[in-house]
Amino acid sequence: MKFKQLNTMLTRTSNMAVLIGILLVVIELRQNDDTLNATIQLALSNSYEEISTLVVEHPHYADSLMRGYGDPESLTPSDLINLMAVQYRQMLVLHTTWNLYNAGIIPESYWRERVSHFTIAFLESPSIKQIYDGSLHDELFSEAFIVAIDDIYQQQRAAREARGQ
């Protein structure tokens, strides 16, 4: 009889230990998720910071951008390559942002803000938008991604027109 009671007590104790262990694992996984999300957002922020300082760090790109906005007729092949390279770099980071947004890792407001920065820089100038339009290929980015950018851009334009800008 005593062995049966001892066995029951040991079984209950081990079951409790297993439950406590599972609880600790769940807590640890949640902490890891928070750390991973913070790391992802920091890396994304660093990518956007790098892109935003390109104009300062690379005078050739700054010159190309100025010609694209001010005197598009004077754009050289080198200017076109500079502008296309920076647009592509920005699109890569935006694509990552879009994927993180779709996965629920970053909020919609962050996604929309980043697209807004892109559209202001690359879609407001007719000559630079023409370069953007000419560089769109399904092989590089999905149609859904391009449509998501365009939707936000059209909403921005409609809001500006409503304000009379």
pLDDT one-digit tens code per residue, 20-68 = 888 888 777 777 777 777 787 777 777 878 888 888 888 898 999 899 9
Q: Is 60 exposed, middle or buried (0-12, 13-18, 19+ CB in 10 A)?
A: exposed
Q: Kindly indicate the confidence band of residue 1, based on its pLDDT and cuts at 50, 70 and 90.
A: low
DSSP conformation class of 106: S
For residues 94-105, give the mean pLDDT.
92
What DSSP state is assigned to residue 105? S
Quick: pLDDT tens for 126-140.
888 888 888 887 778
| pTM listed for this prediction | 0.73
